Amino acid sequence: MGGDEWRAIAQTHAARADALTAGRRARASRGETHPVDDFLFTYYSYKPAVLRRWHPGAGVELADADERAGWRWYRSNGYGGVVVDVDAFRADRGDLITAVFRLLRATSQRPAHFGCFGLHEWAMVYRDAAPRHDVPLRLSAAETDAVVEASELRCTHFDAYRFFTDAAVPRNHEPLSRDLQVAREQPGCLHAGMDLYKWAMKLGPVVPGELLLDAFALARDIRTLDMQASPYDLRNWGYEPVTIETVEGKTEYGRRQRAFSARASEIRAHLLARLDGVS
């Protein structure tokens, strides 16, 4: 790829990343926080600046890119170009590559399950006097508990399940553990879709910049529904609730969940293709 071409792509990538992270950066400069958008930067712990750094992905030669020859996991190809050093990345991150490939492949091969209705957030406050987020509940504590008790908890994602209250844990349809993650993760789960951003970030230079930002944008959209369907009242932040305790709310949640699952499946397939090329 010629120098002018890849630099133009990198500039476009940085502009898109800046647009996606503008709110976070503005709030950080004012010392403010946001209960929805900030999650992607606090839970996943990646700074906006990391998203700006464009990578071409494995197997793409960059001409006139001497400055990248010193970047970690890059090397000169001996013909005046620079490429991602797949061998070095595999040597340093072989266990990660194997683990992520196993998880994503197993998830992609499993049928999608819907009908959880975002109740994981409700299970995280069930019979708990101190909710995880500093945001008011939109129902009373007793009403919130009643929604959980009238529902079936069908969470399949361990990193959501591990935040359930002690009282909520035995209400899930089955116990989950880190050891069972590969066996339980399924493509209908919104958190499995959100985590694609984490895996794309961890895979660093072997993932093309466009795919990374697509994963981030999906994670942000999923997080919005996640909190709209939660027991928290976010109307002061401009978010209308998805009232999953009603038939109408369940219908809306299911429709949006299926759309996110389709987007996630496409991104997951692209990541698997990239992993297959470096494993």
- C-alpha distances in Å from residue 172, one per residue of 52, 111, 158, 160: 39, 20, 11, 12
pLDDT in tens, 148-196: 999 999 999 999 999 999 999 999 999 999 999 999 999 999 999 999 9
For residues 150 and 110, is the Cβ–Cβ distance under 8 A?
Answer: no
pLDDT in tens, 14-54: 999 999 999 999 998 999 889 899 999 999 989 999 999 99
E strand or H helix at 89: helix 86-108
For residues 271 and 200, is the Cβ–Cβ distance under 8 A?
Answer: yes
| 81 DSSP β-pair partners | 63
* Cα–Cα distance measured from residue 74 to residue 61, given in angstroms and rounded to the nearest whole number: 10
The residue extents of the domains of the chain are 3-114+180-278
User: What predicted TM-score, i.e. pTM, was given to this entire model?
Assistant: 0.94
